[in-house]
């Protein structure tokens, strides 16, 4: 068994060998909490949740760090616009992110550090970099000298002479316009902390280098994030950490975006779809299926049609699960997933190929049900539950139990009314009035209900929208 991952820094898929046998350490760039999350934000957390689950399934002890950036320019700007404390905005949106992760079934990280809780570690890193000649103070700012680190831009594969480094107007005193800010001098009315170089606040890149060092040490296995973070964020993280003396990440793993009209989903572009709104319109488990089943390195082009297709595909899986449970009672997940599923997941988390194995197994299970082969149907369901569990999509998992409870009172009312209509249909069938029976069935289907005749009588489910 060898897990292989695409390493952005190597530009190829590599065999994964942990730095510490039996253990996996992962740092994921988490939320910048200036606003509530859209589905593009949550996709990253969901992709790395699947990674965490697969490593755990393979027997590794996983340490998973997902940070919170709770201070940055956008948060400060919103604080001024809304006349609210900056920390109030950050905390409100941090809770919204955690709610989004939870509603989509993401496991909690081992630790979820906030940037503002690690100012001491940032000061220590800046002091070390200044002493080693990699950083300097100017006008109360502290900058990293990019020419002092030979490996700069190897991750993003750029040439230093052609580099356009993002820079703010208040970043004064730079020796080279390509140097980047690790610490920003305090401005009136903005949050600030005391340092040997005056009061100020951290730069985005410094935060993650310091927190990764704090929680995972000088070297760790995997650093993750969206492809938009490769430059400047991850490039600058590497420069700071390695110039400080850390080996830093052994693998760099990046997920692609959720796009709309082929553009990255973004608040600033006005094309974002909030998680809080999506889960009102779509079942969270369906939304997880939609966001989590494409390969993590593939873009997802958002559309309601694609969501409806995901809903229909998951309904086929869920329908099989329900039918077997109705026939045979509770079925525990198998101890191991099928070898073909494991092979797909080991190959750079090949969820689309793994999902194909699930659907094949569901078809086999449905054939067993049709043949009244209860033993085979139960065996297939055990396999399906094991595979769905790895992807966080098992409808029988306790996490999703509350989902079926949503609107349970209404479900009971609908069930009573549908039963009355089904009784009328059954009476028509008994008197061999097939036209009336078919008309009743068709009317129910037009209302969005799917009617199935089973050995225990007719059953209804909601059809795809």
Which of 75-89, 170-184, 266-280 is the least confident region? 266-280
Contact (Cβ atoms closer than 8 angstroms) between residue 41 and residue 101: no
Mean pLDDT (the chain, rounded): 92
| Mean pLDDT on 420-433 | 81
Contact (Cβ atoms closer than 8 angstroms) between residue 242 and residue 248: yes
Tokens 């009336």 locate to 436
Instruction: Note the pLDDT of residue 405.
Output: 47
pLDDT tens-digit profile of 47-67? 999 999 999 999 999 999 999
pLDDT tens-digit profile of 299-340? 999 999 999 999 999 999 999 999 999 999 999 999 999 999
Split at pLDDT 50, 70, 90, the class of 403 is low
Tell me the pairing of strands 141-144 and 135-138: antiparallel
Query: Where is mean pLDDT largest: 216-230, 272-286, 434-448?
Result: 216-230
Percentage of the chain beyond pLDDT 70 is 93
Could you give the strand order of the β-sheet that contains 135-138, starting from the edge strand earlier in sequence? 135-138, 141-144, 180-185, 200-202
pLDDT at 433 over 60: yes
Which of 42-51, 168-177, 239-248 is the least confident region? 168-177
Instruction: Note the pLDDT of residue 450.
Output: 75
Tokens 């029976």 locate to 437
Q: Is the peptide bond before 346 cis (omega within 30 degrees of 0)?
A: no
pLDDT tens-digit profile of 33-43? 999 999 999 99
Which of 74-83, 300-309, 345-354, 448-457 is the least confident region? 448-457
pLDDT at 408 over 50: no
CA pseudo-torsion sign 277, 283, 288, 290:
negative
Distance separating alpha carbons of residues 371 and 366, to the nearest angstrom: 9
| Mean pLDDT on 168-191 | 93
Q: What is the DSSP letter of 43?
A: H
Instruction: Note the pLDDT of residue 439.
Output: 86
- End-to-end, the C-alpha distance of the chain in Å comes to 41
Instruction: Note the pLDDT of residue 406.
Output: 47
Split at pLDDT 50, 70, 90, the class of 407 is very low
Split at pLDDT 50, 70, 90, the class of 402 is low
Contact (Cβ atoms closer than 8 angstroms) between residue 394 and residue 400: yes
DSSP string, 49-106: HHHHHHHHHTT-EEEEEEEEE--SHHHHHHHHHHT--HHHHHHHHHHHHHHHHHHTTP
Helix (H, G, I), strand (E, B) or coil at 46: helix
Split at pLDDT 50, 70, 90, the class of 409 is very low
pLDDT at 141 over 50: yes
């Amino acid at each position: 068994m060898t897990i292989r991952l695409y390493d952005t820094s190597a530009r190829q898929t590599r065999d994964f060998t942990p730095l510490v046998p039996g253990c996996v350490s992962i740092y994921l760039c988490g939320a910048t909490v200036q606003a509530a999350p859209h589905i593009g934000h949550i996709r990253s957390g969901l992709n790395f949740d699947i990674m965490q689950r697969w490593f755990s399934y393979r027997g590794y002890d996983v340490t998973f760090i997902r940070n919170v950036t709770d201070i940055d320019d956008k948060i400060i700007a919103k604080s001024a616009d809304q006349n609210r404390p900056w920390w109030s905005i950050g905390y409100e949106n941090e809770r919204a992110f955690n709610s989004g992760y939870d509603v989509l079934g993401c496991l909690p990280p081992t630790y979820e550090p906030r940037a503002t809780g690690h100012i001491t570690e940032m000061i220590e890193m800046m002091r070390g970099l200044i002493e080693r000649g990699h950083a300097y103070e100017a006008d109360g700012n502290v900058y990293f000298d990019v020419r002092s680190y030979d490996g700069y831009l190897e991750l993003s594969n750029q040439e230093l002479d052609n580099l356009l480094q993002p820079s703010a107007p208040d970043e004064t005193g730079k020796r080279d316009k390509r140097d980047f800010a690790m610490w920003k001098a305090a401005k009136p009315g903005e949050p600030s902390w005391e340092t040997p170089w005056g009061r100020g606040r951290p730069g985005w890149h410094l935060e993650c280098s310091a927190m990764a060092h704090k929680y995972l040490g000088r070297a760790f296995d995997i650093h993750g994030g969206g492809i938009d973070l490769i430059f400047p964020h991850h490039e600058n993280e590497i420069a700071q950490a390695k110039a400080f003396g850390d080996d830093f990440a052994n693998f760099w793993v990046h997920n692609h975006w959720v796009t709309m009209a082929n553009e990255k989903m973004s608040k600033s572009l006005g094309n974002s779809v909030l998680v809080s709104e999506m889960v009102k319109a779509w079942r969270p488990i369906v939304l997880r299926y939609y966001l989590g089943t494409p390969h993590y390195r593939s873009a997802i082009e958002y559309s309601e049609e694609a969501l409806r297709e995901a809903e229909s595909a998951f309904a086929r899986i869920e329908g099989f699960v329900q039918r077997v449970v109705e026939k045979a009672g509770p079925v525990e997940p198998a101890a191991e997933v099928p070898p073909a599923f494991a092979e797909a997941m080991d190959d750079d988390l090949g969820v689309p190929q793994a999902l194909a194995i699930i659907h094949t197994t569901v078809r086999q299970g449905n054939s067993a049900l049709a043949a009244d082969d209860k033993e085979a149907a139960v065996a297939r369901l055990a396999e399906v539950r094991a595979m769905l569990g790895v992807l966080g999509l098992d409808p029988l998992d306790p996490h999703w139990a509350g989902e079926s409870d949503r609107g349970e009172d209404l479900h009971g009312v609908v069930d009573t009314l549908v039963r009355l209509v089904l009784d009328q249909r059954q009476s028509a069938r008994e008197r061999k009035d097939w036209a009336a029976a078919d008309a009743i069935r068709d009317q129910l289907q037009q209302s969005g209900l799917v009617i199935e005749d089973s050995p225990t009588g007719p059953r209804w489910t909601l059809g795809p929208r």
